[in-house]
Amino acid sequence: MKQWNLLAGADGAVMTEMHDQFSAEHSDIELEATTFGWGTPFYTRLVMGASGGNASDIATIHLSRLKSVSPQTLLDPITVDELQAHGLDPADFPEKIWEKCFVDDQLYALPIDTHALVNYYNKDLCAQIGALTPEGTLIETTGVEQYFDLLRAAKEITGQYGTSLDTLGGWRQFWAWYRQADGEMTFTEDDYEMDDDKALQAIEVMYKMAEEGLCPPFADGGQCASNFENGAAAFVQVGNWEINRFKLFGGDNPEWFSMTEMPDFFGNHRTQGDCHSYVLPYHNAWGEGVREATLEYASWMLQHSFTWGAGGGHTPAYLPVTEGAEYQELQPNSEYSGVVENVQFDPDVWFSGSAARLFDETGAIFNQVYGLQMTPEDALAEIKSRIETLLALPNPVD
């Protein structure tokens, strides 16, 4: 059985550990797992392999990319009867996520986890500014100004910033705050709709944060995390996949930080996020017993996804795990477990989703906003221009 994935680094190490355990318990199944480069290299390989019927038996994709890989032609559907025969049931998954696994009433994906933009905080620095509850968790704030007051107090302590973030990944912050304000972005074949006022409001938050020096004017993914580790910022807004990096940095004190959902800026804790999911690439023909072995693998991995959540920081999509006592006692994971209900997927269009062009091309614009090189008004105009250009392009998998 061949498995393809795009999980490297700490994620890849946890996945390898799980694969070793699966193989030890299933001597009758020969698992061959291959990791390809994250993003475009992986999706290009998947589409090319599936178009010839010669891809892997199972692959890990982002659920936001499901429609962009043309599931009706490049993926094999899965039946609910097959899942139930392997111990899985639709009720085992969050309804909102489960619904996104279908295209034209056919099930094409099995969700592995939810991963999202969350809010990490340095417990010692937050204690110094009075930002912790008696239980030692971050106090709740409401609205932009209340949270900015925390960042201002933190900046006085750190001498540099209040929070760190990835200025090249600004789409994540933008989409979180735009969706908190109930902003919608819908697409038809040749047109789209978005709320300019709410989009501008989200971008103005980003600009103001940088203008006050509450966040760095530039930080890529590595610098973003380093600012938090070296005490240049008391907070960092980054994905829950960084949890192991920060634990390892703490050495003998892995609990030097904690994490919670994105702050309530506009009445809720909505945040940008996605799901890793299993799909079955199109097969010219399934070898004898291979499909059964593949579904057994998927079922086992989901039922044992506590390891994935504890090791990789992602919130398992399999509810018997996340609702179980062992996971609910897991720290700091349980503190942000509610993020599953607040995850906002990227807009439903072929150039959107994880590692897609909308994320990359708007990222360059938001980077200029954080660098104070572009006003919010100009940024919004440029974003709309990029969207219109992308919308005019043909869908490459049509």
Query: CA 44, CA 78: separation in Å to the nearest integer?
Result: 23
What was the pLDDT predicted at 336? 85
Is 181 in the same domain as 80? Answer: no
pLDDT at 10 over 80: no
Residue 223 is assigned to a structural domain of this protein: yes
Is 103 in the same domain as 179? Answer: no
pLDDT digits over 348-360, tens only? Answer: 999 999 989 999 9
Residue 23 is assigned to a structural domain of this protein: yes
Q: What is the mean pLDDT of residues 200-218?
A: 98
Is 31 in the same domain as 146? Answer: no
Is 261 in the same domain as 358? Answer: yes
Residue 86 is assigned to a structural domain of this protein: yes
pLDDT at 398 over 70: no
Q: Which residue in the block uniquely carries the two structure tokens 């100004």?
A: 145
What was the pLDDT predicted at 340? 85
What was the pLDDT predicted at 250? 96
Q: What is the mean pLDDT of residues 146-151?
A: 98
Is 356 in the same domain as 242? Answer: yes
Which SS3 state, helix, strand or coil, does residue 22 take?
Answer: helix
pLDDT digits over 50-99, tens only? Answer: 999 889 999 999 999 999 999 999 999 999 999 999 999 999 999 999 99
What was the pLDDT predicted at 31? 97
What was the pLDDT predicted at 355? 87
Residue 123 is assigned to a structural domain of this protein: yes
pLDDT at 335 over 90: no
pLDDT digits over 294-326, tens only? Answer: 999 999 999 999 999 988 889 999 999 999 999
Beta strand pairing call for 185-187 and 315-316 = unpaired
Residue 233 is assigned to a structural domain of this protein: yes
Dump the DSSP string for 27-82: TTS--EEEE--TTHHHHHHHHHHHHTTBS-SEEEEEGGGTGGG-HHHHEE-B-HHH
> What is the residue-averaged pLDDT of the chain?
95
Q: What is the mean pLDDT of residues 29-55?
A: 93
Residue range of the domain that includes 186: 116-272+344-391
Nearest in space to 306 (alpha carbons), one of 7, 6, 18? 18
Is 251 in the same domain as 353? Answer: yes
Dump the DSSP string for 282-345: -BSSPPTTHHHHHHHHHHHHHHTTHHHHHHH--EES-HHHHTSHHHHT-TTGGGGTTHHHHEEP
Is 296 in the same domain as 236? Answer: no
Query: CA 36, CA 346: separation in Å to the nearest integer?
Result: 23
User: What CATH code is carried by the domain that includes residue 382?
Assistant: 3.40.190.10
Is 18 in the same domain as 105? Answer: yes
Q: How many structural domains comprise the chain? A: 2
pLDDT digits over 227-254, tens only? Answer: 999 999 999 999 998 998 999 999 999 9
Is 267 in the same domain as 373? Answer: yes
What was the pLDDT predicted at 58? 98
Is 281 in the same domain as 254? Answer: no
pLDDT digits over 154-205, tens only? Answer: 999 999 999 999 999 999 999 999 999 999 999 998 899 999 999 999 999 9
pLDDT at 134 over 70: yes
Is 312 in the same domain as 250? Answer: no
Residue 324 is assigned to a structural domain of this protein: no
Is 249 in the same domain as 262? Answer: yes
Percent of residues, the chain, with pLDDT higher than 90: 88
Q: Which residue in the block uniquely carries the two structure tokens 């994540």?
A: 172
Upper half-sphere CA count for residue 7 (Cβ side, 13 Å): 27
